[in-house]
Structure 1
Amino acid sequence: MSFKSNIATFAGKSSYWFLHNVLKGGTSFPGKLAMKLDPDVLEQLGKDYETIIVTGTNGKTMTTALITQTLKEKYGDILTNPSGSNMAQGIVTAFLAHDQKKSSRKLAVLEVDEANVKAVTQLVHPKAFVLTNIFRDQMDRYGEIYTTYEKIVAGIKLAPDATIIANGDASIFSSVDLPNPKVFFGFETDQDKPQNDLKADVNTDGVLCPKCEHILHYHAISYANLGDFFCPNCGYKRPDLTYKLEEISEQTPSRIKFTIEGKEFAVNIGGTYNIYNALAAFACAREFGVSANEIAAAFAKNKRIFGRQELIHYQGKQINIILVKNPVGLNEVLSLLDTEKDHYSLAALLNAHHADGIDTSWIWDGNFESLDRDKIDQVIVGGERHKDMAFRLEVAGFDPDKMIIESDFDQLLAAFAKTPTDKIYILSTYTAMLHLRQVFADKGVLKRRIN
């Protein structure tokens, strides 16, 4: 390391120690401090690691966690950024915080914000890119899905030898000719699919052929624009899949079972979208030499991570916090709630900070009307934009006179404790979720705060 990098690393590590041992938090400041002293400190910190970059609109945090867990089964200690702080300063913090333990291979699995892929790639020289999906998200930051992919491709082009491990069911990921080695994963559950000729629902984004702009058709659709696509006009179609989901045998709000390569796997989370995350992790792990049995063992150990179906027990209530941030993700979560057999209370927390996306119009693309209102015994609305969310739910058919509307997060906890149901599902944007977790931490319900 250069003298500048040594100083930056020392300052970053010292600030991390102080924040986490004295103030009990801090996921980006140490990295920000180190980068201020040496903008290229990440290159020095990551030079001895084989780095895997995980990016895409939805599922980055869960996919990163699953990949990390699977690689641990074979290689031991793995460096990662588990907090979901996925911009450059958060990634630098992950390296500063990591105390290398016994490992047979120095691997780093990094969740990276789509707009930061190029900046991070310039410094860590990745071994692989894992691409989850691209949906409309935070238009103020990313623009349309095509500009989002351009940002990712700009980073990939800096690492032409890195393997691309991509969702083959997303038509955009095979649309650009890149020299990198490529493997694709996807759903292959419909044995009669060659006879199907389907179109995605109206208003679905990303259904134009990337080659000729004709409307794509599908042999099978998993959700949104994902599936076995083909263009009847120019012949563009889904690439051959290396790793295939063959069967889904169980889906509940808290558990999914599925088959890959003839072997059944299970993870203790719900949602079709999380099957894609698990499939991405499976594909990445197999590319790095992890066996199917080791992957199954890792999936069985998977713990719910903060804000992604995180389960909190409070005042006799079972509270499930689920991050929502865009129409596709929201609709998949609403589909997840439709698999709940018991009565429950629903909370919706809406903020509009930079990390959430300042435009909240996306909530109107969420199909709240699909919810079984007979199973929802209480509705609670909070966050800085609680009026917007309350009005959206009123339009969806929920009685405004029976809603609890509470902008104070401390009072939200009191409202949760008084719900008539044991189960509470909280749908929350990112900064509202962080604020809620901080309140839980301050009350000793959670062990630490996420800042």
Structure 2
Amino acid sequence: MSLKSGLATFVGKSTYTLLYGVLHRGGTSLPGKLATKIDPNVMKSYAEKYDVILITGTNGKTLTTTLTTRVLREKYADVITNPSGSNMMQGITGTMLTAKLKDKTQRPIALLEVDEANVESVARQLKPKAFVLTNIFRDQLDRYGEIYTTYEKILKGIRLFPGATVIANADSPIFMRGDLPNPKVYFGFNHLQTTNSMRAPHNTDGVLSPTDNSILRYHFMTFGNQGDYFSVTDDFKRPALDYAVTSLNKLTPISSNFDIDGVTYQIEIGGMYNIYNALAAYAVGRFMGVSATQIQKAFSSNAQIFGRQESVKVKDKEVTIVLIKNPVGANQVIDMMKTDEQPFSMLALLNANYADGIDTSWIWDADFESLHDTGIKAVATGGERYKDLYVRLKMAGFGDHPVYQDLQKIVPAIASMPTKRVYILATYTAMLQLRAELKQQGYINTGMGD
């Protein structure tokens, strides 16, 4: 470790100690920010000390990282991670600098969620053993551009390490682009056995064949551009799966029961999209030598996941906080709500800060209209861009409804909802603001990174 690197490490660790030990505040971004100002390459000294696994993609990074951490801790004593979703260079640097290891005899694992645009810079310093690719959907066009631009950002990091294993969602055809020499592990869904042929819905992104850019067809689709695809112009098709969901047994708003390769698993969170996250965690676990029995035990944990279908009791209301940020994710949340057999209310919060994505046009591709076929009894909108969301829901047929630009009014608003069950759909910074308000009023005891 060079003198500059040593100083950067000292400053980062000291800042972390001050924040947590003295001021009792969370967060790893500030320690990482200060350390990288002194030495932008401070993490290089950690590359040889860890087996590094990077998880990236549009949706599901945080939950996949959380589930994978639980899986790996069934076998490994030291698995460090960035559980709060601080997934850019500064946050990841802070995570590496402040990690506390327990077992000196076992090689530690750094399992890190990484923002798509940061894969190259993080990989360059940490030399990953594996890259995990969840999916790529249209998201934050102001930051990433279209989906092929986003994937190219990820590929720049993977191409630096041709020996690293790529653990990819094979149901997403975009991941078949790039002609990578890396070892590959593929996961996906094989829950339907059919020879049907179907086209994707007209507004689906990412359905071009990587061989000749023709429009792919599907034997079945799960959601977004994902499914069992094939080309009608050549012999391109979805590759054989190493690990597959073979049955969807029961889906509710709060749990998912499914089979992977014939063995039953359950996670205490709803939505088909979260089964993909569990499947990714399963694939990483098997890659790292974790047994199926150990994975079943890891999945059975019902610990809350920050901002991801987090359940909060507000007076007599059962509140579920769900992160939304793009049309595919929003539609999956809507589909999850459709599995609720009880009446419910919905409060949607929209911000458009840098971390949310400044472009809010995606709300017009979210299928709010389909909620009319559910037990929804009331809607309300809020957040800094409440006017946009108000118009969207009014156009979806929900008419005039309450709006709450001031999040201090959210808790009374929740209490006034006509149903016991309330779903709050929020973009990232709106979710942070909401949690801060709920924490201040005593409804949440933990904050980000606690």
TM-score interval w.r.t. the shorter chain? over 0.9
SS of match in other structure, 1:424: strand
* Residues 344 and 422 in structure 1, CA contact (< 8 A), matched pair in contact too: yes
Aligned to 1:446: 444
Q: Which shows bigger deviation, 242-251 or 19-28?
A: 19-28
Aligned to 2:173: 171
Give, in whole Å, the separation in 1 of the partners of 2:342 and 2:381.
21
1:406: Cα distance to partner? Answer: 0.9
Aligned to 1:160: 162
Aligned to 1:87: 88
Q: How does 1:18-29 map to 2 (within 5 A)?
A: 18-21=18-21, 22-29=23-30
| Candidates 163, 184, 200, aligned match of 1:182 | 184
Aligned to 1:423: 421
Aligned to 1:410: 408
Give, in whole Å, the separation in 2 of the partners of 1:23 and 1:358.
32
1:315–1:97 distance in 2 versus 1, CA, 3 Å: farther
Give, in whole Å, the separation in 1 of the partners of 2:27 and 2:288.
32
1:421: Cα distance to partner? Answer: 1.6
Give, in whole Å, the separation in 2 of the partners of 1:26 and 1:233.
51
Give, in whole Å, the separation in 1 of the partners of 2:103 and 2:262.
33
Give, in whole Å, the separation in 2 of the partners of 1:10 and 1:305.
31
* Residues 245 and 260 in structure 1, CA contact (< 8 A), matched pair in contact too: yes
Q: Where does structure 1 lack aligned partners over 5 or more consecutive residues?
A: none
2:123 aligned partner, one-letter code: T
| Alpha-carbon displacement from aligned partner over 1:82-123 (angstroms, at most 9, x marks no partner) | 000100001011123321123733101000000100000000
| Alpha-carbon displacement from aligned partner over 1:371-427 (angstroms, at most 9, x marks no partner) | 036622222211000011011000001021xx2211111111111122222111000
* Residues 363 and 392 in structure 1, CA contact (< 8 A), matched pair in contact too: yes
Aligned to 1:311: 311
1:302: Cα distance to partner? Answer: 4.6
Aligned to 1:393: 393
Aligned to 1:259: 259
Q: Which shows bigger deviation, 301-310 or 221-230?
A: 301-310
Aligned to 2:364: 364
1:23: Cα distance to partner? Answer: 4.7
Q: How does 1:77-226 map to 2 (within 5 A)?
A: 77-102=78-103, 104-191=106-193, 193=194, 195-226=195-226
2:146 aligned partner, one-letter code: E
SS of match in other structure, 2:429: helix
When the two chains are superposed, the root-mean-square deviation of aligned CA atoms in Å is 1.3
| Alpha-carbon displacement from aligned partner over 1:185-209 (angstroms, at most 9, x marks no partner) | 0101112x2x211111111111111
Q: Which shows bigger deviation, 70-79 or 1-10?
A: 1-10
Give, in whole Å, the separation in 2 of the partners of 1:243 and 1:211.
24
1:108–1:441 distance in 2 versus 1, CA, 3 Å: same
* Residues 52 and 127 in structure 2, CA contact (< 8 A), matched pair in contact too: yes
* Residues 322 and 425 in structure 1, CA contact (< 8 A), matched pair in contact too: yes
SS of match in other structure, 1:397: helix
* Residues 54 and 129 in structure 1, CA contact (< 8 A), matched pair in contact too: yes
1:108 aligned partner, one-letter code: A
Aligned to 1:72: 73
1:436–1:27 distance in 2 versus 1, CA, 3 Å: farther
Aligned to 2:231: 231
2:332 aligned partner, one-letter code: E
* Residues 77 and 108 in structure 2, CA contact (< 8 A), matched pair in contact too: no
1:303: Cα distance to partner? Answer: 2.3
Q: How does 1:270-419 map to 2 (within 5 A)?
A: 270-372=270-372, 375-400=375-400, 403-419=401-417
1:255–1:245 distance in 2 versus 1, CA, 3 Å: same
Give, in whole Å, the separation in 2 of the partners of 1:102 and 1:442.
37
Give, in whole Å, the separation in 2 of the partners of 1:150 and 1:92.
23
1:261: Cα distance to partner? Answer: 2.0
* Residues 377 and 418 in structure 2, CA contact (< 8 A), matched pair in contact too: yes
1:374–1:65 distance in 2 versus 1, CA, 3 Å: closer
Q: Where does structure 2 lack aligned partners over 5 or more consecutive residues?
A: none
* Residues 49 and 107 in structure 2, CA contact (< 8 A), matched pair in contact too: no
* Residues 353 and 431 in structure 1, CA contact (< 8 A), matched pair in contact too: yes
Q: How many residues were matched structurally?
A: 447
1:24–1:443 distance in 2 versus 1, CA, 3 Å: farther
Give, in whole Å, the separation in 2 of the partners of 1:184 and 1:304.
28
* Residues 24 and 448 in structure 1, CA contact (< 8 A), matched pair in contact too: no
1:9 aligned partner, one-letter code: T
SS of match in other structure, 1:266: strand
| Candidates 431, 434, 440, aligned match of 2:432 | 434
Identity of aligned residues (%): 52
Give, in whole Å, the separation in 1 of the partners of 2:386 and 2:373.
20
SS of match in other structure, 1:372: helix
Give, in whole Å, the separation in 1 of the partners of 2:251 and 2:372.
18
| Alpha-carbon displacement from aligned partner over 1:198-238 (angstroms, at most 9, x marks no partner) | 11111111111122111100111111110110010122110
* Residues 338 and 374 in structure 2, CA contact (< 8 A), matched pair in contact too: no
Give, in whole Å, the separation in 2 of the partners of 1:435 and 1:27.
18
